[in-house]
Amino acid sequence: MTFHPRASTLRLASAGVVLALILLIARPRALRSDNFVFYLPRGHQVVPTETIGHEQYLPLIQVLNAVASVSGLQEKQKSLVVYVGSVHLEVHLDNPKVKVDNTQVALPSPVRVSNGQWMVPLSFLQLALPKIVPERLAYRAGTDRLFIGDVNPALFTVSLKPLSGGSRLSVEFTRPVKVKTASRNGRYVLYLGGQPVEPMEGSYHFQDPYIADLTFDDQDGEPKLIVTPGSAALNFYPSEAAGGKTLLVDLAKPGMPLPLQGTTTLAQGGAPTSGAAAPSTAAPSTGGEQKPASPAATNVPAVPPAPPLPAVVLDPGHGGDDPGARSRDGILEKNLVAQIEDRVRAALVATQKYRVVLTRVGDTDPDLDARDAVANVTHPVAFLSLHAGNYGNAGTLVGVYTYRFASPSTPLSPERLVPGFVLWDRVQSTHLERSRQLAQALQTQFATLSGTVALPPREAAIHVLRGVDAPAVAIEVGSVSPDLDAGALTDGGFQDRLSTAIAQAISAFETSPAKP
């Protein structure tokens, strides 16, 4: 065999050009994989997800087997029919429309096939799965978990208090949770006893020298909280109070005697553990009580009662790439309403009457139908969409809006009218009277806020309200305008008063009789 340097160079150059073209044209299809957890009355199932394009997909057969039992399959080259009990599901490759018995359901993204598996977008869980399985399904858009049947997840709220020489993280659950702790790579893992937990937020970041962040994770099907200490070599004191409903985590400088009266140390070992330098392993609980380090240590906050509690859905507007309104001093509507939502949620939970469900978590922007879907699977007593907008130079004010259809004469094609069904984009029409009562209850409370103008309730064609199958209003604070500073709206005192007023209004509304 003879070696030809010219031919080899030529081949190399050609291969390089072809490779460059392939890299230029071809897009990576599957970018990353995560897990999705199905919580069932009999346990849980973990199903891997796949990101195709920019959409998260689930393997269809694994999903159906997790929540029900597939009794038959008919697979063709470009279509698949699956039998689940007496229901049959038909999907077609690259087609967003799926058929459940005789009902057609349009998904926002098409059905795909990846590595020989039929893949459906996450929206399948909200739009099609409820038609296939008879059990109640609770799924919050944007999350990676679904609760089936009688599974009622525990909820929790988080607060942080400074202590002398350390910080105390307090996690309050809606029912007792059996916690075991471990140390992994300089972080502390708090296993929540395997029972289903629904986090309000995926992670909490703190501006604190002792605790950097707290993250919830159940990707392996085991719910746990992961505490990242602010720096290495901090002592870690986990303990529980209020019969297991409150989890207290103290992180402190070595040598600071912190632990508490009325609390029980957790399965971590009697001696405090050093941080990253010498992580400990889990050990049996001592069950012993310890003396309080400071008066603040005994101040255990009230714990909300166990579910089921009526739900209130909070919808902080915008998020992600959509900042909403922007003020002269750079305040973005998406951040402002997230701050307000945080306080409203705390005020509602403090009443011990409600659980709070969010339509978006963190800086994301679910589409408007997905926000409505959160409400429609939750069946809340109220849906509040939070906004901030431009009211010119009118001072601090707050307005409440109910939905109004742009025109009663809006044409509706006959094929969209199905007897016995209410159209998704018209379902709010069945709750308008109750929505008006809710708006009035809110306005009555807002009118008591000093230094704030409470506008009378109004009607507007607010898109996010039209598909909500519950009493629904939008609350807009102002003014967030490019010509004005919005500083007053970011004031914690104002936000607290507003949130308390909202919580009181919800209580008053819920107990008020529905007008015929």
Partner 1 sequence: MNRRTVFVTLAVVAVLIGGFYYLRSLAWRVFHEIQGGEESVHARLNQEALQASSGVQQAITLYFPADDGSGLVTETRQMLWAVADTDRIRQIVLALVEGPTKTHNRPLPPSTDIRAVFLTNDGTVYLDFSNDMLKGFAPGIQSETLTVYSIVDSLAANVPAVKKVKILLQGQEVETLDGHIDLTGFFVPDTNLGGTAN
Is 409 a binding residue for partner 1 by CB under 8 A? The answer is: yes
Is 23 a binding residue for partner 1 by CB under 8 A? The answer is: no
| Helical (H) or strand (E) element with 507 | helix 492-511
Binding residue for partner 1, selected from 210, 354, 391, 446, defined by CB under 8 A: 391
Is 474 a binding residue for partner 1 by CB under 8 A? The answer is: yes
Q: Which residue has the tokens 């699977």?
A: 377
Within 82-141, the residues that bind partner 1 by CB under 8 A are none
Is 455 a binding residue for partner 1 by CB under 8 A? The answer is: yes
Tell me the window of 112-120, 188-196, 452-460, 505-513 that interacts with partner 1 (CB under 8 A).
452-460
Pick the closer one to partner 1 by CB: 318 or 360. Answer: 318
- Shortest Å, Cβ 490 to partner 1: 17
Beta-carbon contacts of residue 10 (< 8 Å; ≥ 6 apart):
none
Is 18 a binding residue for partner 1 by CB under 8 A? The answer is: no
Backbone angles phi, psi at 437, to 5 degrees: -60, -40
Closest CA to 327 of 337, 316, 340: 337
CA dist 190 and 187 (Å) reads 10
Is 461 a binding residue for partner 1 by CB under 8 A? The answer is: yes
Which tokens is 442 given? Answer: 């809110």
Pick the closer one to partner 1 by CB: 88 or 463. Answer: 463
Binding mask 339-378 for partner 1 (x = CB under 8 A): -----------------------------x----------
Is 454 a binding residue for partner 1 by CB under 8 A? The answer is: no
Tell me the window of 141-149, 298-306, 402-410, 501-509 that interacts with partner 1 (CB under 8 A).
402-410
Is 410 a binding residue for partner 1 by CB under 8 A? The answer is: yes
- Helix or strand or coil: residue 491? coil
Is 318 a binding residue for partner 1 by CB under 8 A? The answer is: yes
Pick the closer one to partner 1 by CB: 13 or 278. Answer: 13
Q: Count the neighbouring beta carbons within 10 Å of the beta carbon of residue 335.
A: 18
- Helix or strand or coil: residue 20? helix
Query: Does residue 102 contact residue 90 with C-beta atoms inside 8 Å?
Result: no
Pick the closer one to partner 1 by CB: 12 or 233. Answer: 12
Which tokens is 33 given? Answer: 């994989």
- Shortest Å, Cβ 312 to partner 1: 20
Beta-carbon contacts of residue 256 (< 8 Å; ≥ 6 apart):
164, 165, 166, 235, 293
Q: What is the CA radius of gyration of the chain?
A: 27
CA dist 180 and 310 (Å) reads 30
Terminal CA-CA length for the chain: 95
Binding residue for partner 1, selected from 55, 201, 342, 425, defined by CB under 8 A: 425
CA dist 173 and 304 (Å) reads 8
Q: How many of the chain's residues bind partner 1 (CB under 8 A)?
A: 45
Is 9 a binding residue for partner 1 by CB under 8 A? The answer is: yes
Is 316 a binding residue for partner 1 by CB under 8 A? The answer is: no
Q: What are the C-alpha distances in Å from 106 to residues 89, 123, 127, 466?
A: 13, 10, 8, 19
Tell me the window of 241-249, 268-276, 433-441, 463-471 that interacts with partner 1 (CB under 8 A).
463-471
Within 275-314, the residues that bind partner 1 by CB under 8 A are none
Binding region for partner 1 (CB under 8 A): 6, 9-10, 13, 17, 317-318, 322, 324-325, 333, 368, 387-394, 399, 401, 405-411, 425, 455, 458, 460-464, 466, 474, 476, 478-482
